[in-house]
Chain A
């Protein structure tokens, strides 16, 4: 499956409304996704990771468990 660009843009806009940026790198059947906080982002406004993975999976065309997801609050 390929990336659904329209849905990806919609998801990016949703995150942008909370001042987050979405960086995506899809390689084959897995993906690296980083969510980057802007200066006005509220930490609590991000959905739990499993929900975010379920949102990303159909958009990126990969299984939720194949998405390596990094949140701004994750330890470096």
Chain B
């Protein structure tokens, strides 16, 4: 599925040739599922996803099986990284899109995972909705839903990160388990 990487800048909004990305089928609940974390190198992104991972383990019985850090915040994850996530995860959390390029590439990652049949929850900070939404449109999937947290994330203390992860958790769980109508084909 990931033999070719999606070039995030190819195509136009609503590109008919690419078509809309259908969401992966969601599990009814998360208990016992394998969680993958796709992290970018923005400050606090790893801590944020680590907190999310801990909360999902404690409250929903999710087991984190794989954490991968993207080599670039600008580009989507390389195919081999997505292949690993696909092979070793049942659901994936992607983040944190706390800048223009990383929010856009996080959305591209989420769409690639969905296309491969892996439910994904992408986390972006709210200041970058414009670039995240633009990427979704460019990928032929306007209205793609993602989780937002207040900007900035990079300047938060660890306690602040923990608090944000806690706040985002219900939406993350909802995104991984429900079929978001706005994204369906």
Contact B9 A14 (CB under 8 A): no
Contact B128 A44 (CB under 8 A): no
| Residue B13 interfacial (CB < 8 Å) | yes
Q: What is the bound-complex CA distance between A13 and B151, given in angstroms? A: 12
Q: Which residue of B9, B12, B99 is within 8 Å of A48 (Cβ)?
A: B9
Q: What is the bound-complex CA distance between A64 and B15, given in angstroms? A: 14
Q: Which residue of A48, A49, A55, A64 is within 8 Å of B130 (Cβ)?
A: A55
| Residue B138 interfacial (CB < 8 Å) | yes
Asked whether A11 and B130 contact (CB < 8 A) given A44-B74, A51-B104, the answer is: yes
Contact B127 A13 (CB under 8 A): yes
Report the contact-size class of chain B (Cβ under 8 Å from the partner). Answer: 20 to 34
Q: With a CB–CB cut-off of 8 A, which chain B residues contact A64?
A: 12
Q: What is the bound-complex CA distance between A58 and B85, given in angstroms? A: 36
Q: What is the bound-complex CA distance between A64 and B131, given in angstroms? A: 15
Contact B100 A48 (CB under 8 A): no
Contact B127 A47 (CB under 8 A): no
Which A residue sits closest to B126, measured CB to CB? A17
Q: Can you list 11 A-B contacts (CB < 8 A)?
A: A17-B127, A17-B128, A44-B72, A45-B102, A46-B101, A51-B8, A51-B104, A51-B135, A51-B138, A54-B134, A54-B138
B residues contacting A by CB (< 8 A) are 8-10, 12-13, 72-74, 99-102, 104, 127-131, 134-135, 137-138, 151-152
Other A-B pairs, 19, CB within 8 Å; known A47-B131, A48-B8, A51-B104: A11-B130, A14-B100, A14-B130, A17-B100, A17-B128, A17-B151, A18-B100, A42-B99, A44-B73, A46-B100, A47-B134, A47-B135, A48-B9, A48-B74, A49-B9, A51-B138, A54-B137, A55-B134, A64-B12
